[in-house]
Amino acid sequence: MAGATSQATPGDADGEGDGPPPHHRHKWLILGICCISLFMVGLDTTIVNLALPSIQDDLDASPSGLQWTVDSYTVVLASLLMLSGSMADRFGRRRTFQTGLLLFSLGSLLCGLATDTGSLIAFRMVQAMGGAMLNPVAVSIIANTFTDLRERARAIGLWGAVAGVSIALGPVVGGALVDSTGWQAVFWVNLPVAALALVLTALFVPESKAPRPRRLDPVGQLLVIVLLATLTFGIIEGPVRGWGSAQIIGCFTVAAVAAATLIRYELRRAEPLLDVRFFRSPSFSGAIASAVCGFAALAGFLFLNALYLQDVRDFSPLHTGLLTLPMAAMTLISSPLAGRIVGARGPRIPMVIAGAGTAGCGLLLTRVGADTPIWYLVIAYVAFGIGFGMLDAPLTYSAVSGMPRSQAGVAAAVTSTGRQVGAALGVAVLGSVSTARVHGPFASGFPEASHLGWAIMAGCGLAIVTLGLLTTGPRARGPADPSPNPAPDRPAQRVR
């Protein structure tokens, strides 16, 4: 789910400035430019979910085609997040940011022109290539611009607030656009925003590079792409092609081999793309697992809820967006509250509340039917909004506190990748188990068929509660030793 949370890249959270001195008189304008990209990408996420039923009608998309419309974006995004940070450090942050804006704009334009599901999925991948260069690189620009730690914290706080606003406005804006213009508008609305950001970036954002960029890791990058792509393909296409088919078994086998090879290969590198030694820290491992569970629940919720409200209840896209506003409102309220609780009491309390809210919503929706009262749905949406709003602050704190200070940026980048992996798996798993169980007309069969999906969402919430209790105590916060083993052909170097 790109843009829904703040993201960081390697080397930018240790308080070390790099590159040329920032233009201090423009630093708040630079922050605004970076926030534009976050708002655009965050808005795009919720808008696209609301447009899925219209896309299904117009392009005659299958349920798996709708899943790929969402997951083609998140899989590519998750695969390239860490690479984009390395590219920005090496080739220039402003240059990478501008390239991301251009690719995201091109992908948005082409998505609106798509005439079939296949081309829409391909153009969503172009969008994701651009999106991977926006929010993570924007955080690098912010960290390099705001050298004072207090101002940097304030800037990151404003950045996070924009993420919440984009979630809140997305359903209403998306519903209005689909109702008035058509699903194509949810992509084309990005074009003027990206054009404004491009002009302002060229005028006011200074170029900066890392004095010692991390080495590129093409083998590790390829293994990550193969792992995520084959795993997601197997989950989405399994109900259609048969779980026992040679193609699906082959996908899961390739994914397992890619995962094992990735771990073995990265352990031998001095500067790995993904430092698996981080997972020695219980606090860090718990944060990553909670990120996967929490964002799987969010993505699955948005996907299933859009189909339920529009295809089953026959609500318009705008009406659907208005109904989900209580969720977004509670997210806005609980997010800053979670940050205060983490600062005063640590991450355990908000983590447990986050899991309980997610599990409560899932359990309530396991009883949903074709004529469920609106007040009942609103209670479920409020519970999920509280839970999701409480999640991000303890995740970031737990991930970073489990690492040495010099590794905080890398830890945050891995956490961001975990969020996107969770989003991809949420749509794949919850969507597959729900749509595959529909028998007869979709509108009458979907409510009962979706109960298993909502139960899995509740399970994700219970997993977050368990992880919060087990991995946020004093014993779990001891930092892992991320120092890599020496590579056979050269001495080990500090991972940044």
Per DSSP, the residues of 23-60 read -GGGHHHHHHHHHHHHHHHHHHHHHHHHHHHHHHHHHT
3-state secondary structure of 487: strand
> What pLDDT is stored for residue 404 in this prediction?
61
For the chain, where do the domains classified as CATH 1.20.1250.20 start and end?
23-211, 278-473
Q: What contacts 284, CB < 8 A, 6 or more positions away? A: 278, 398, 399, 402, 403, 411, 480
pLDDT of 217-266, one tens digit each?
889 889 988 998 899 888 888 887 888 899 999 999 999 999 999 999 98
The residue ranges of the chain whose pLDDT is under 70 are 1-25, 149, 153, 156-157, 160-161, 164, 168, 400-412, 473-496
**Token match 């914290």: residue?**
153
Q: Write down the pLDDT at residue 190.
A: 92
Measuring CA to CA, how many Å separate 131 from each of 80, 229, 457? 9, 18, 27
For residue 478, what pLDDT is reported? 53
List the CATH code of the domain at 23-211: 1.20.1250.20
Quick one: DSSP state of residue 450?
T
Q: How many helices (H) and strands (E) does the chain have?
A: 19, 0
Picking from 365, 374, 373, the residue whose alpha carbon sits closest to that of residue 448 is 365
pTM for this model (two decimals): 0.81
Whole-number pLDDT of residue 411: 67
Distance CA 443, CA 448 (A): 10
Write out the two tokens for 328: 């977004």
Phi/psi of residue 271, nearest 5 degrees: -130, 80
Burial class (CB within 10 angstroms; exposed 0-12, middle 13-18, buried 19+) of 448: middle
For domain 278-473, give the CATH number.
1.20.1250.20
Q: How far is CA 309 from the centre of its chain?
A: 23
CA-to-CA distance for 485 and 266, rounded, in angstroms?
Answer: 10
Instruction: Give CA–CA dist 21/19, Å, rounded.
Output: 7
Residue 398 identity: S
At 7 the pLDDT is 41
pLDDT (tens digit, 9 = 90+) per residue, 168-206? 677 778 888 888 889 999 999 999 999 999 999 999 888
Token representation of residue 304: 């299933």
Q: How far apart are CA 489 and CA 474, in angstroms?
A: 39
Rounded-to-integer distance, Cα 255 and Cα 250, Å: 9
In the block, tokens 């942050």 appear at 93
